[in-house]
Structure 1
Amino acid sequence: MDYKWLTIVIPALNEQAAIGDTIARCLDARAEIIHSSGLEGVEIIVVSDGSTDGTVEIAQSYDEIQVIVFEKNQGYGAAIKEGWRQGRGDLVGFLDADGTCDPRFFSQLCQTTISEHADVTLGSRLGPDSQMPMIRRTGNRIFAFLLGLLCGRKVTDTASGMRVVRRQALKHLYPLPDGLHFTPAMSARALMNHLRIIEIPMKYEERIGESKLSALWDGFRFLKVIGEGVLCYRPEKIFLAGFTLCVLFILLLAAYPAEFYFQHRRLDEWMIYRFVVCQLVGSFGMMLLLASALTNRMAQLSSRREESVGFWSSIVVSLFSGKSLIFITGLFTLLGMGFLWPGIVEYASTRTITLHWSRLIAGAFTLFTVMQTSIFFILMKVVEIWSYEQTSLKNNRGESASAESFESRSTHYQKRTTSADLSPRIIK
């Protein structure tokens, strides 16, 4: 694709101490950006997000930029989206107005976006030249780790305030929130939607003026938006992560009783507590595993969901579908009856039960798993019925639209033919 223009949006809320210098540096960087990336032009849009200081007056003193004024504060993300909406660039970008980012870095971002066919290219603030405060650096690393763990793809700076995005990629990123959690939401949606996202280390300086970011409240919102992004596109990731934790906990808790049994061929009475906890955690883990398969199938009904899934997700989906699910249910039924059958026979003949408690717990767990898989089977059938009905409705609408189009063309042809037949013929 031939990219011609870059739109740079500068969201600003009471940034009178830094906005003038940021605009001047952006204007000075235009020639370098155009020369290095082959663009025809760069437009700069400042969006005042309800500023009450001199931000608007300073921005409006520059004739070569566009200034959008929000009378009331609508949010960091809302300002960027409005700038993008009014801009004309094939590439759209933004940077913070606080002087932390060098506008000349847009040259490298645009060049990489074009040459590498990236959907989102961002400047990572966690490089060696970063002056980011330690608490924010730590928070960013935690968010990046969690997002990478849930989506299987790595990004180091989820909340970078300097990015370039292909305008065509916005349809895969929207809707995005209006607040400061705009940037981590974009990162999550880009990764979940399998868009091509590239990071480039950049220099990051101390901000000018007071920060608008609340480490506690905005950190909570960042975590929330990352979770929502995963639930929207890859919900099975969260459930698989929970299942993995359950398995690790059970292995840790059951390691000593298992070792003790293989050495002495018996279990001490105090170990019953570990068995009960393992049963509870195991039942919960099985529920998470089934939820992973179910939500994966439900997410496939969304038109925004990509078809590709991860390795482990695909195994879970194939494991709990069709004949595999029937086999698993039958296997657990046989195991449960195998654990409990001696006790059933003993009670039927002697009206007493001397069966060891470990067999009772194991039997109860396996039969409870049978009930879980049976309910899961019914829910999957419900989802399949919904999927079939949605497909049928779409096909019917398409056929109706085709029929209406054909009828319209036929009517038009009949009118044209009738008109032609009624018109006088001139024979020379």
Structure 2
Amino acid sequence: MCTLSVVIPAYNEENGIAEIMERVLSIRPALRKVGIDDLELLVVDDGSKDNTAVIAQKIADQDDNVVIIKHEVNKGYGGALKTGFSRAKGELIGFLDADGTYPPEYFPLLCEQALNGADLVIGSRMAGEQSQMPATRRVGNIFFAGLLTMLGWQKITDSASGMRVVKREILTQIYPLPNGLNLTPVMSTRAVHEGIRMCEIPIPYSERIGRSKLSVIRDGLLFLQSMVWTVMAYNPVRVLGIMGLAGVFLALLSIFGLIVARLSGDTTIGPWGVAALFAGMVAGVTGVALFALGATSNYLVSLFYKKNIRQGLFGKPIFKKPLESRFGLLGSITFLAGLVLSIVSLTLGISGWEIERLWLYLLGSAMMILVGVQLILYWALMRVLEDLSQRELLIRQDLNG
């Protein structure tokens, strides 16, 4: 016997709460056809100032499977959902908004996917069905879905959908979740990195009943911040590594431009050249530091999750063979190359070469030495962290002979 518990968070939704509740209750026959024996509906009134709770209670008085939960103060969209999750009795837990934008008639299809093996089924508003989503929000959802796809290395079309079905048993894997509107993108991000079996089902999306509570700019920034920090908790090098590689790329562009100018016989640079050189040096050193910090942080994360870093952490690495494994070699080569260049440049300077011919080489050698030292230090730190991450495994091997 399988039960679906549907949670509806509601805050000042007196104009639409009755309709969405009736629509949810009307899907019982369709649920039975896919193998769902019972339906429980939980409405969480999140401190509404209007008649939302009164209207919802009238429907609950007529149906024993409808539960009304009241928050004395507003806890937020995520807080209301989590209250509903904690009170739900079903093996499957679904949720959708109270404003009529999501179609509860699609719950049977989502549940069918859950019964066929998916742990989290997302109703995607961006996967082909008719959508009345405003253009600004559509652009935002495309951006966030693309961001999660890039950071999690798994194709996602709608990271912030508010209509989902999740198996109760995996809640502990995707917790903790925030209390705000950013619950859904954080849930998606955690699910991707926890290896949760996910699938998306195209659903239509309608205009909401009443005024939207979503602020495109404020909540968009909240979504971005939440997703990035959640990824950082699982796979820091995915975020810091990409930023670091971007910095190194800018530095290489700057170096290439200077080399071309040098080969053409121009030994002086103007204001724009100075600016490019300054930006390139800052971007290069910062880029190497960010990538190395991200790689090192992955070793710390592996200690927390008790995973061997060599087995991979939460998604595919940026490179086929982790670049950090060569930090020691790369650092030594860079350091020695910088040292040799500096010795040659200083020797030429003592021999009478003008500083105009040597300053770029001296500057480049100093940067190479500093980057080389950075890489060597991070390599040494990662070796220590790797040994710590393997300590328990090595102890068991020694005890077993």
Same fold (TM over 0.5): yes
1:320 aligns to 2:324 (yes or no): yes
Aligned to 1:8: 6
The alpha-carbon distance between structure 1 residues 309 and 137, as it changes in their structure 2 partners (threshold 3 A), is: closer
The alpha-carbon distance between structure 1 residues 278 and 73, as it changes in their structure 2 partners (threshold 3 A), is: same
Instruction: Describe how 1:27-176 pairs up with structure 2 within 5 A.
Output: 27-35=25-33, 37-62=34-59, 63-64=62-63, 65-115=66-116, 117-126=117-126, 127-176=128-177
Give the one of 312, 316, 322 matched to 1:310. 316
Aligned to 2:193: 192
Q: Distance in 2 between matches of 1:349 and 1:254?
A: 26
Q: Distance in 2 between matches of 1:100 and 1:136?
A: 13
Q: Could you tell me the TM-score, scaled by structure 1's length?
A: 0.82
Aligned to 1:298: 300
Kept in 2, the 8 Å contact 1:254–1:274? The answer is: no
**For the pair shown, which has the larger CA radius of gyration, 1 or 2?**
1
Instruction: Describe how 1:220-239 pairs up with structure 2 within 5 A.
Output: 220-239=221-240
Aligned to 2:183: 182
Aligned to 2:210: 209
- CA apart distance, 1:386: 5.5
- CA apart distance, 1:302: 2.0
1:244 aligns to 2:245 (yes or no): yes
Instruction: Describe how 1:302-381 pairs up with structure 2 within 5 A.
Output: 302-303=304-305, 307-312=313-318, 315-316=321-322, 319-321=323-325, 324-346=326-348, 356-380=358-382
Structure 1 residue runs without a partner (length 5+): 400-428
The alpha-carbon distance between structure 1 residues 247 and 347, as it changes in their structure 2 partners (threshold 3 A), is: closer
Q: Distance in 1 between matches of 2:101 and 2:121?
A: 18
- CA apart distance, 1:138: 1.6
**Which moved further from structure 2: 79-88 or 172-181?**
79-88
Deviations 1:138-163 (A, max 9, x none): 22122222222222222122211110
The alpha-carbon distance between structure 1 residues 309 and 32, as it changes in their structure 2 partners (threshold 3 A), is: closer
Kept in 2, the 8 Å contact 1:246–1:282? The answer is: yes
**Which moved further from structure 2: 160-169 or 328-337?**
328-337
**Which moved further from structure 2: 305-314 or 140-149?**
305-314
* Letter paired with 2:58: S
- CA apart distance, 1:68: 0.9
* Letter paired with 1:291: L
Kept in 2, the 8 Å contact 1:49–1:71? The answer is: yes
Kept in 1, the 8 Å contact 2:110–2:122? The answer is: yes
Deviations 1:213-243 (A, max 9, x none): 1222211211111111111111111111102
Deviations 1:254-308 (A, max 9, x none): 444344455x366444455534432221111111121121011111112287745
Aligned to 1:23: 21
Root-mean-square deviation over aligned CA pairs: 2.7
Aligned identity (percent) is: 35
SS of 1:302 mapped into structure 2: helix
Aligned to 2:385: 383
SS of 2:228 mapped into structure 1: helix
Deviations 1:18-67 (A, max 9, x none): 111111111111111221x2122111111111112111111111232111
Instruction: Describe how 1:270-281 pairs up with structure 2 within 5 A.
Output: 270=270, 271=273, 273-281=275-283
1:257 aligns to 2:252 (yes or no): no
SS of 1:89 mapped into structure 2: coil
Q: Distance in 2 between matches of 1:301 and 1:40?
A: 43
SS of 2:305 mapped into structure 1: coil
SS of 2:385 mapped into structure 1: helix
Kept in 2, the 8 Å contact 1:272–1:357? The answer is: no
- CA apart distance, 1:363: 0.5
**Which moved further from structure 2: 347-356 or 334-343?**
347-356
Kept in 1, the 8 Å contact 2:124–2:203? The answer is: yes
The alpha-carbon distance between structure 1 residues 100 and 269, as it changes in their structure 2 partners (threshold 3 A), is: closer
Kept in 1, the 8 Å contact 2:6–2:42? The answer is: yes
Kept in 1, the 8 Å contact 2:241–2:295? The answer is: no
SS of 1:161 mapped into structure 2: coil
Q: Distance in 1 between matches of 2:225 and 2:274?
A: 39
Q: Distance in 1 between matches of 2:286 and 2:243?
A: 9
* Letter paired with 1:51: S
How many matched pairs? 385
Deviations 1:51-92 (A, max 9, x none): 121111111112321111111111111211121211111111
The alpha-carbon distance between structure 1 residues 313 and 71, as it changes in their structure 2 partners (threshold 3 A), is: farther
Q: Distance in 2 between matches of 1:335 and 1:125?
A: 54
Kept in 1, the 8 Å contact 2:238–2:318? The answer is: no
Q: Distance in 2 between matches of 1:278 and 1:351?
A: 26
Structure 2 residue runs without a partner (length 5+): none
The alpha-carbon distance between structure 1 residues 380 and 184, as it changes in their structure 2 partners (threshold 3 A), is: same
Q: Distance in 2 between matches of 1:101 and 1:277?
A: 48
Kept in 2, the 8 Å contact 1:46–1:67? The answer is: yes
Q: Distance in 2 between matches of 1:349 and 1:250?
A: 31
